[in-house]
Amino acid sequence: MKVCFLRHAQATHNAAAAAHGESEYESWEYKDALLTPLGHTQVSNVILPFVPDRIYSSPLRRCIQTARALTDTKTIIYLYDGLIERQGHHPCNLRSHKSGIIEFDTFTNTDNIEITYNHVFSHRETDAEVYARASASLSDIYADAARAGATQILIVTHWDVLKVLFNADVKNAKTFVISV
C-alpha cells in the first residue's frame, strides 16, 4: 500500500504565530483554525504522487479544507481524532463538535463522517503520547484501507504527528510518501 502523508496548508494560527510570535497559539481567535489565502494557494499547488483510493484526515477544519481542495466534493473523507494536532492548551488544536464539522463540510455525506474517538487532555501531550495515539490510528487506517481494497491512500495531518512518526520537519502543504 502506498501512503501519502500531507501536512495541512497554512492556517490562520500559523500566520499569526509567524507574524506575532508563538503566544498567538494561545488565542481563542484561532480555535479550530481555518486556512489562510496563502494556505489555499499552497494546497492548489500540491501535486500528489498518485490518485488516492481513500482519504483520511484529522478532524480539524484546516485539514478538512486541505483534503477537500484535493478532491471532488462527493469524495468521502474519513476523519480520525488520532491524527489531530498535539492535545493540550492551544485552542487552535481543539476540534469542533461533530455537528460543527458536518455543517462546515457541507458536501460530505454526514452518514460517512467517522470520528473514532475524542480524547480530552488535562495536560499537553508528550511526543511519546502523540506517537502512541497516531500509531494506533494508523493501524486502524491501514486495516480499513485494506478492507476497502484501497492501495493508495492520502492522510492529511499535522506537523507534530509527522515529526514523531517520521522524525521529519514537514512544512505546510508538503508531502511525505511511504509504502506499507
pLDDT band with cut points at 50, 70 and 90 for residue 109: very low
Specify the DSSP class assigned to residue 97.
P
Task: Report whether pLDDT(159) > 90.
Answer: yes
pLDDT band with cut points at 50, 70 and 90 for residue 139: very high
> For the residues 47-61, what does the mean pLDDT come to?
94
Mean pLDDT of the chain: 87
Cβ atoms of 173 and 9 within 8 Å: the answer is yes
Cell of 31: 480555535
Long-range contacts of 146-151 (CB under 8 A, 24+ apart): 146/1, 148/53, 148/54, 149/53, 150/1, 150/52, 150/53, 150/54, 151/1, 151/2, 151/53
Gap between the Cα atoms of 158 and 155, Å rounded: 10
The pLDDT, as a whole number, for residue 121 is 56
Q: How many domains does the chain have?
A: 1
Of 5-14, 17-26, 116-125, 134-143, the one with minimum mean pLDDT is: 116-125
CATH number of the domain within which 123 lies: 3.40.50.1240
Supply the range of the domain harboring residue 32: 2-179
pLDDT band with cut points at 50, 70 and 90 for residue 95: confident
